Amino acid sequence: MEALNSTFLYCDQLVRDFEKVIKTPIVNKSAVYYTGIDLGTAYIVLAVLDENYQPVAGAYRFASVVKDGMVVDYIGAIRIVRELKQELEQKLGTELIYAAAALPPGTFTLDSGAIKHVVQGAGFEITNLLDEPTAANAVLKIKDGAIVDIGGGTTGIAILKDGKVIHVADEPTGGTHFSLVIAGAYKLSFDEADQYKRDFKNHRELTPVLRPVIEKVSSIINRHVADYQVKEIYLVGGTCCLEGIEDIIAKQTNLPTYKPQNPMFVTPLGIALNC
Ligand code: ATP
């Protein structure tokens, strides 16, 4: 389904600007910098905004330090965040002080302490710790509907009514499972399968292979939206980069389903906006 262009104007521009500064940072004289840290199952992403909340730098690294929203390699997580921080500080010629981070919905009591300590352990002053859908919606600015964040380890669902989150859930199916399906079907290692999946050239060919797992994600969405008269679904998260995933989800849920041009960086940018 076509993206709702007007809904995603701000989002698409912000993500495009962010993709540019990942490659070429903007060295300016901002009085303050805000860093958003997204500690994911598959990636750790740092997004840096200037005093006008414009992207100036960004970096990400493939990492297995978090599983289903839980930090499983605490030391490794601190090391990677610190390395990415130093890399960005070098590029920007300034110290990055303030950072915010986020957690999948429903895991606050489980792991907010660990995430906070990772951010502080890497040398940041933590200014905010929020839930991922709230972060994503700082970029999407949706009033009513469901934000579905299909990440690496999990699918997060947040239902919004009049701009307020009224229901959240986080279920253990995500891009990791997609890669496992490809590994099985093509007799590849997990890493090879994940790489194959991330190549946009392969998406068309992969659709029939991945259809059952996309249908499983759709059934999870259906279960959560059933009681809330949800009229629209908005997709974010790296797994939604998969071409055509929105069409299968729209068909399975019977709901218009939209996604921004690059759904992968929406949450990290939303975290930085809340710093
Ligand atoms: P979680 O939210 O579950 O903790 P995460 O924050 O690491 O995990 P994201 O960064 O949103 O999740 O998404 C990571 C997933 O997106 C991985 O499974 C990765 O393989 C997948 N992914 C990234 N780029 C693409 C792409 N171009 N095509 C298909 N899948 C992709």
Mean pLDDT of 156-171: 91
Residue 28 Cα to ligand 1 middle (Å):
31
Query: How confident is the model over 58-93, as pLDDT tens digits?
Result: 999 999 898 766 888 999 999 999 999 999 999 999
Q: How many residues does the chain have?
A: 275
What pLDDT, on the 0 to 100 scale, is given for residue 41? 84
Residue-range domains of the chain with CATH: 5-135+265-273 (3.30.420.40), 142-262 (3.30.420.40)
Does residue 25's CB lie within 6 angstroms of at least one atom of ligand 1?
no
Residue 275 Cα to ligand 1 middle (Å):
23
Does residue 239's CB lie within 6 angstroms of at least one atom of ligand 1?
yes
Structure tokens, 228:
């809330």
Does residue 42's CB lie within 6 angstroms of at least one atom of ligand 1?
yes
Comparison of pLDDT for 70 and 149, the residue scoring more: 149
Give the nearest ligand 1 atom to 194 CA: 20
Does residue 171's CB lie within 6 angstroms of at least one atom of ligand 1?
no
SS3 at position 22: helix
Contact 42, 238 (CB under 8 A): yes
Residue 229 Cα to ligand 1 middle (Å):
28
SS3 at position 71: strand
Does residue 197's CB lie within 6 angstroms of at least one atom of ligand 1?
yes
Mean pLDDT of 182-211: 97
Structure tokens, 80:
């990677």
Residue with tokens 């606050």: 108
Does residue 238's CB lie within 6 angstroms of at least one atom of ligand 1?
yes
Q: How far is CA 218 from CA 45, 70, 87, in A?
A: 26, 24, 39
Does residue 264's CB lie within 6 angstroms of at least one atom of ligand 1?
yes
Does residue 214's CB lie within 6 angstroms of at least one atom of ligand 1?
no
ipTM greater than 0.95, yes or no? yes
Residue of the CA atom closest to atom 27 of ligand 1: 198
Structure tokens, 161:
């009514």
Does residue 41's CB lie within 6 angstroms of at least one atom of ligand 1?
yes
Query: How confident is the model over 124-136, as pLDDT tens digits?
Result: 999 999 989 889 9
